[in-house]
Amino acid sequence: MQPVKILGHFASEQLASCKGKDLLRVDEFSAEELTWLLQFAAELKQRQKSGQPYQPLNGKTLGMIFDKSSTRTRVSFEVGMYQLGGMSMFLSGKELQLGRGEPISDTAKVMSRYVDAIMIRTFSHTRVEELAEHASIPIINGLTDQFHPCQALADMLTIWEHKGTLQGVKLAYVGDGNNVANSLVLAAALLGLDVRVATPPGYEMDGAIVNKAVAYAQASGGQVVVTHDPVEAVHGADVIYTDVWTSMGFEAENEQRLKDFASYQVNEQLVQHADPAYLFMHCLPAHRGEEVSSGVIDGPHSVIFDQAENRLHAQKAVLATLL
């Protein structure tokens, strides 16, 4: 996969199919569409670095509904819309009429007459699906308890930049089988990576999602393996990825999770089993000393801030494409 110049003829057959779509989960896009999105993101990043403006969204407005706190999602979407020539509106779910019981279907229909797209960061994935069902504009999932597609796109862009390819890259995920893991594994399977996931017993990824990822991997030439052994997952890995042990909404389980995940920390001992040139990735925020040691996350193999920056570029590609 090499960067290609696509501005100026972006309405190609491959990309025109994405216009007006929703992004609720990463596998709503084909492997070909995902590849083009990543190529587009890479070009937008190059243009920004060289000071070349690209503002196709002049006059467009993104409504952003937040039921969960956010740093990277809010800032990257706001900056992204501004850089593309549009504007964004921060809308707290508690302050909207949603917080007073208005049906999400009514909110969807009303906002469709005001803004050009909605990004929502919330708890239940069915809430996002209902919003998309009743809206007549693109809906972008900024995170739910089940999926985090925008993060997965930034992750794939980061791996591609640092490894020069995605096909055949060995990706190890160690930790909770959560929303980040779900989207990461689906995207990786679609794009031909060799994925190995290690979770503690009782914290596995959803079986239906794993089955879908396995099917995608069979078509792409990749592989998906799930295990309870972090050493098995990390053995020979090109990339090691982890996330917090207690995601938002699961704080009541924190004490038990600290015990259950104690042997799943990504630390100096575990990474010795990886390829010597491995990358360390984390979607942030991180709890140093819990899911990852400070020596690993702040060490020379860590690309966490490249990964965080790429949220901006990947989401700009999504916004420019869907709108």
Summarize the annotated binding site for L-ornithine as residue ranges: 179, 243, 247-248
Catalytic position from the list 116, 283, 307, 313: 283
Residue at token pair 């079986």: 207
Count of CA atoms in the C-beta half-sphere (13 A) of 274? 28
27 among known catalytic residues:
no
Catalytic residue among 39, 83, 151, 307: 151
Alpha carbons within 13 angstroms on the beta-carbon side of residue 32 total 7
Q: Given CA atoms 209, 211, 217, 222 in this order, what sign does their dihedral have?
A: positive
User: Three-state SS for 64?
Assistant: strand
18 part of the active site: no
Q: Which residue has the tokens 């899911």?
A: 291
* Annotated binding residues: 70-73, 97, 121, 148-151, 179, 243, 247-248, 283-284, 311
Six-digit token pair at 173? Answer: 């995920």
The catalytic residue among 125, 196, 243, 315 is: 243
Task: List the catalytic residue out of 148, 196, 282, 313.
Answer: 148
Tell how strand 61-66 and strand 117-121 pair up. Answer: parallel
Q: Residue 311 is encoded by which pair of tokens?
A: 């949220």
Distances (CA, A) of 313 to 8, 36, 48, 191, 268: 18, 13, 9, 19, 31
Residues comprising the binding site for carbamoyl phosphate? 70-73, 97, 121, 148-151, 283-284, 311
Active-site pick, 127, 196, 257, 311: 311
- DSSP of 167-234, one letter per residue? TT-EEEEES--SHHHHHHHHHHHHTT-EEEEE--TT-PPPHHHHHHHHHHHHHHT-EEEEES-HHHHH
- Interhelix angle for 31-49 vs 304-322, to 10°? 110
Cβ(173)–Cβ(184) under 8 Å? yes
Quickly tell me which residue has 């004490």 as its tokens.
255
The helix-helix angle for 149-163 and 179-190 (nearest 10°) equals: 50
β-sheet bridge partners, residue 130? none
148 is catalytic: yes
Our answer to whether residue 125 is catalytic in this structure is: no
Active site positions, annotated: 121, 148, 151, 243, 283, 311
